[in-house]
Structure 1
Amino acid sequence: MEGLPTSLADYGPAALSAVVVAAYLVAGEPVVGAVLHRRFEGRLRTDAGARRSFYLRLLILEWGLALLALVIWLSAPDVDAAAVGIAWPDGWPGPVAGGLALLVVVFVVGSTRALRGGVLHDLPAPAADAAAGRHAELPVHATLALLPRTRSERRLFTVVGLTAGICEEWLYRGFFLAVVAAVAGDLPDVVLVFLAAVAFGLAHVYQGIGGVVTTGVLGAVMATLYLDTASLLLPVLLHALIDLRFLAVPSRALPSAGAR
């Protein structure tokens, strides 16, 4: 994408802060996410409000990081809004990016239909872990535990889904790729897409290997759309749609997961 920073000097006095936050997204966020999720799993068994509490923590963390990155960008004298994707698309997506966007929409529709049909009830139950005195959760079960069950949880999850679309695209596509381009110089788009995929996949390490691969592929798709259109608008909309599709799934179609 034309317009990305070509030197860390473009960030002026904010250069060090930009690098630190970008490094945190790659190395720190996977650790923080795993710790928060493990604590959430422990509380979920005894605390009926654990899911809402976890949603609030996610909101604080994501908006806090997003605002920090925004302040750093505003402090960068030679990095304009277009360089971080805060602009209208400069045209329709090309054939590759357009095809990927269509695949995302097909995935959302197909997966929503499958979820509404109760496909999650066919998953194997968590295996007993006698040594730990609890059930050994598979990564897929740990992820499903995050999905809302009650009306109040669904309202808060709507905010979480919108936040993920806005904040994560800003952080992992707009801000992160601008910092990478400034540090490494003029990189080919395919390298930027790969780096965005790795960073985003690692952020979801709590979901297990399957989750890292799936979200990594999603990160690559969103990065491709961003670099092709020079705007975060389409990635934000599609990302939010992917997360918010769970609101179309009735609670009865989800495995029970909560305080016992």
Structure 2
Amino acid sequence: MPRWAAFAGFVGVVLGGLLLLARASADALDSSTAEFPATLSDRVVDAPVAAERPPRRGDTPSTSALLVNVVVSQGAFASLLVVGAWLAAIPAAAFGLSAAAFAPRSLAAGVALGVGLHVVNAVGQRLSDRLGLGDSTTLRRAMTPESAAGWAVLLLVVLPLVAGFEELLFRGVLVGVLAAGFDVSPWLLAALSSIAFALGHGAQGRAGVVVTGLLGFVLAVAFLLTGSLATVVIAHYLVNALEFVVNERYRSD
């Protein structure tokens, strides 16, 4: 029999730890930006042309360390959630992991949603720049690799792990599981989980928090409409991957 209350309490502890870590990461990133501004600002829109750049010889220690930190931290939190769900006997369907969740229609919906959200996200960033709401791209620039191996790790390991864990927590657990286990409106949970999702991205600045919160709500709505965690994981991954590839990879060439 599922132990909903015990798992909800456990998730509260995990979420609290994640938000504290996100806050610490934001503070550390702000400190690094102030101390080494050139490291994080050498890939802006009006940067020098490629001929004026020094040749790329590999990823910087700070970028590699940041990618490793993301893998370790996100992997640890994801493992805690999986173990906690197993011990509490939470059914997979509550997370949006039924067989129908992996149907071709659900997967295609994830692709379409991810591409659409990437376009909206890009427009939001441009508006943020024009309105002076802050730089939401600092973290992305810090995580951008310079080597082919670094890009492979980013696209095939880091971003899939981030999308999988964040969707598992913010949509699968905070919306799906809590709605299944308690008499709470899933739409209210969608709104609250989106606020938590935004707060967990404080390292992206004020504009990044606002945009991330809106994107999180759209993903929550998609999760409720499709009942598929796979749909939102694919969409989340594509939003992140396209942001790196379109913005940073293009500019670094």
Q: What is the letter of the counterpart of residue 33 of structure 1?
A: S
Q: Aligned AA for 2:196?
A: A
- Equivalents in 2 of 1:188, 1:16: separation in Å? 19
Q: Tell me the residue number matched to 1:129.
A: none
Residue of structure 1 equivalent to 2:188? 191
Matched, 1:21 2:14: yes
Say which SS state the counterpart of residue 86 (structure 1) adopts: coil
Q: Is the 8 A contact 1:52 1:156 kept in 2?
A: no
- Aligned residue runs from structure 1 range 155-234, under 5 A: 155-158=152-155, 159-178=157-176, 180-181=178-179, 185-234=182-231
Which of 66, 77, 84 lines up with 2:78 in the alignment? 66
The normalised TM-score by structure 2 is: 0.71
Alignment correspondent of 1:37 = 29
Matched residue SS, 1:145: helix
Whole-angstrom distance in 2 between the partners of 1:160 and 1:105:
19
Q: 1:179 to 1:24 in 2, by over 3 A?
A: farther
* Number of the residue aligned with 2:54: none
Question: 1:59 Cα deviation (Å)?
Answer: 0.5
For 1:11, the aligned partner's letter is W
Q: Which has the higher helix share?
A: 2
Counterpart CA distance in 2 for 1:36 and 1:85 is 35
Of the three residues 91, 97, 108, the one matched with 2:118 is: 108
Deviation at 1:180, TM superposition (A): 4.4
**TM-score normalised by structure 1 residue count:** 0.69
1:111–1:188 CA distance, 2 compared to 1 (3 A): closer
Match of 1:84 in 2: 95
State the secondary structure of the residue aligned to 2:60. coil
Gap runs ≥5 in structure 1: 125-136, 256-260
C-alpha spacing 1:64/1:254, structure 2 compared with 1 (3 Å): same
Distance 2:77 2:113 in 1: 30
For the residues of structure 1 that align with 2:120 and 2:147, how far apart are their CA atoms? 24
What is the identity percentage for the equivalent residue pairs of Structure 1 and Structure 2? 25
Q: Give unpaired runs (5+ residues) of structure 2.
A: 41-58
Change (3 A) 1:89 1:81: same
Is contact 1:204–1:211 with CA below 8 Å preserved after alignment? yes
Corresponding residue pairs, total: 221
